[in-house]
Each structure stands twice: as structure tokens, then as C-alpha cells.
Homo-oligomer: A and B are copies of this chain.
Amino acid sequence: MSHEQNESVIEALHECMVACNHCYDACLKEEDMNMMEECIRLDRECADICAYLEQAISRETPFISELAQVCATICEACGSECKKHQHEHCQKCAEACSKCAEACRKLTM
């Protein structure tokens, strides 16, 4: 993988991690938290795997393809859940997840 590709995936992972954590924090402040259960759960899963993969790529992990595949799966699940909710933080998060999943899928080819 070229250095430029690396940097663009790391950027997508970073933005997805931030969006997921913003969404997580905002969901915990929602009036009806029970509606947001799955969103809270998946935001944490997704933030954690994105943060993990960011680090792994930047230290040139030999397992980039395997890790990117799991990360794409988790981003897609989180994005699908977020898309269902009309809150701005959910919609932003869904978009970041979708971009990140796409960037990760490219690493698995």
C-alpha cells in the first residue's frame, strides 16, 4: 500500500472514531435513551475498532487486510443503525461510518 493510501485510510478511521464517540456521548444525553440502545453499543464497538486500526496501520501491522475486513463489517453495522435515527449526530455518524467502511474494504482486496 502506498503512503498516500495509508494516510487517507488513517484519516477516514480517525474521523469515524470521532463521529462515533460524539454520537455515543450525544445518545447518552438523549431524552429517550432506550431508543438509542443499539446505537450506543455500536458506537463504542466502532470507535474502538477504528482507533485500533488507526494505530495498527501507522505501525505497519502485518495484519492490515484481516483487521480492515473486521473494521469494515463493524462500520457497516454501526452505520446501518445510525441511519435509522433522525438525530443530527446519528446522521453524521452514519456518513462517517459509510466512508470508513469503503476505505477499509479497499485494503482487503
Q: How many angstroms between the C-alpha atoms of A62 and B39 in the bound complex?
A: 13
Whether A70 sits at the interface, judged by CB under 8 Å, is: yes
> Contacting chain B: which of A20-28, A82-90, A97-105?
A20-28
* Chain B residues with CB below 8 A from A61, complex form: 45
Cβ 8 A contact of A41, one of B17, B28, B48, B73: B28
Closest to A50 in B: B55
Q: Is A51 interfacial (CB-CB < 8 Å)?
A: yes
A75 to chain B, nearest CB (A): 11
With the chains together, A74 CA to B67 CA distance in Å?
10
Q: Which residues from B are CB-within-8-Å of A33?
A: 33-34, 37
* Residue in contact with A44 in the complex, picked from B44, B51, B69, B70, CB distance below 8 Å: B44
Known: A17-B55, A63-B77. 5 other contacts (CB 8 A): A24-B59, A29-B37, A32-B34, A48-B56, A66-B70
